[in-house]
Amino acid sequence: MSVAAEPLPDPHTDVASIPATVARVRAAFDADRTRPEAWRREQLAAIAALIRENVDALEAALSADLGKPPFEGFVADLGVIIGESRTAARQLKRWMRPEKASTPVNMKPARARLVREPLGVALIISPWNYPVQLLLSPLIGAVAAGNAAVLKPSELTPRVSAELARAVPRYLDGEAIALVEGGVEETRALLEERFDHIFYTGNGRVAQVVMEAAARHLTPVTLELGGKSPCIVAQDADMEIAARRIAWGKFLNAGQTCIAPDYVLVHRDREEELVEGLAKAVRSFYGDDPRSSPDYARIVNTRHHRRLAGFLKDAELAFGGELDESDRYIAPTVIRNVGPESPAMQEEIFGPILPVIGVANVEEAIAFVRERDKPLALYLFTGDPELEEDVLARTSSGGACVNGTIWQVAHPNLPFGGVGPSGMGAYHGRATFETFSHRKAVVTKGTRFDPKMMYPPYGAIRTRLIKRLLG
């Protein structure tokens, strides 16, 4: 399957217009346009309609930009937005309801509650690998919480950006939700403006720039980053299932997934069996020639293709390794005997190249993981519940999945986020609503009874009494 070669659109917004755009969105929020439950429901329904009524155009854009198969495009990028919108609408009244808190005896008469209020104007900056989902999924939580928003899609998927730029004003409230296209210059201009929350998905280097800009206005941030997500395969694992599920999670979207297994640590006695199982799984997924498979994606651009090709120089290939820069194609590839200092182990791969490293036991694998930055995801294959608990207790990661890959991010009732260098904050489902809400503490005092004990003058007797009561 070759990537379409039609002329690329130029994703661009006039930089000079950005301050006025942000001001317009803020004016809508300040006018309380976004607070009513009815407005929130309208926008949630509109987000779902935007996807439903533009599936063909968006799938075509995803295919042109990323070579993404329609199945992957719908399941991982489009359909999930419809589902999240419906869930948010169904749960909205419960999420918005004030949360009661108990009041201690010494504070009565009073009642206490937590009231969730919108933060204000959110800036959502999305990446290119899942360019629809990772832009609109945070937006669902932002509008459910009653916020206005400015959206910034990735310029590296220009056809998707162009489709979203056409659709967003047609479906969503243009006064309270705006979309800005472009690259570094436009993003820099956006970061000069004051926002009430910045939600960024991407790499750690740009995240530092985002945090520096946010610090100037004391703006809170959510950072969804990445890292080298390890996969530990214990000696007792069902190797056929492990190989198939690792191959699926790794080669989905040609490996361009922030939670894809980045490398595998497998017991040495079963390393050969795993590699053979991975090769078998790849053949069953994509045939003998993955290049011709309609179900295998492409690398986003030439620059990333060349970066990934660099990992294969002098690497020991177990299978794969075929490259075609003109088609942005890299075959599903497994490399072996990879040292900790090799290029493939120095940065997140973010492509269809999987290092397999043999270890003596799970203890060695745990030590290997703990010596490195905390990853966004950790995968473990074992049938031993005690070993499962031991690995989860002794490693730290944004999320984890046992005997599977990717599924922890798909669960609608679990938050998704990183830890340490892999990110901060979390979203999905109610967690997204909470991310864009301020939990305001409210105490309402009764007026029928007004004890004088807390008013001055205090005196020695009252001081001793209060110490006895509260001490």
Q: What's the CA angle centered on 148, arms 144 and 152, to 5 degrees?
A: 105
The per-residue DSSP string of 291-323 comes to GG-TT----S-HHHHHHHHHHTTT-EEEE---E
Query: Parallel, antiparallel, or unpaired for β 323-324 and 316-319?
Result: unpaired
**Which residues have CB under 8 Å from 292's CB, separation 6+?**
1
Which residue do the tokens 């599924």 mark? 407
For residues 155 and 180, give the distance between their C-alpha atoms in angstroms, rounded to a whole number.
10
- On whether the CB atoms of residues 385 and 377 are closer than 8 A, the answer is no
How many other CB atoms are there within 10 angstroms of residue 290's CB atom? Answer: 23
* Residue 420 backbone class (left: φ over 0; alpha: ψ -120 to 50; beta: rest): left
Q: 54 φ, ψ to 5°?
A: -130, 25
Q: Prior bond to 109 cis, omega within 30?
A: yes
User: Of 203, 208, 112, 199, which Cα lies nearest the Cα of 433?
Assistant: 199
Q: What is the DSSP string of 140-157?
A: HHHHHTT-EEEEE--TTS
Distance between CA atoms of residues 411 and 132, nearest Å: 18
Query: What is the secondary structure of 383-412 as a DSSP string?
Result: S-HHHHHHHHHH---SEEEESSSSHHHH-T
Please list the active-site residues. Answer: 224, 258
Pairwise CA distance, residues 75 & 57, whole Å: 15
Q: Report CA-CA distances (Å) from 307 to 248, 250, 300, 313.
A: 22, 18, 12, 11
Q: Are 86 and 161 in contact (CB under 8 A)?
A: no
Q: Cis peptide leading into 457, omega within 30 of 0?
A: yes
Phi, psi of 359, rounded to the nearest 5 degrees: -130, 160
- Evaluate whether 84 touches 90 at the Cβ level (below 8 Å): no
Cβ(242)–Cβ(271) below 8 Å: no
Q: Which helix (H) or strand (E) holds 117?
A: strand 110-118
Provide the 10 A C-beta neighbour count for residue 469: 10
Q: Is 314 left (phi over 0), alpha (psi -120 to 50) or beta?
A: left
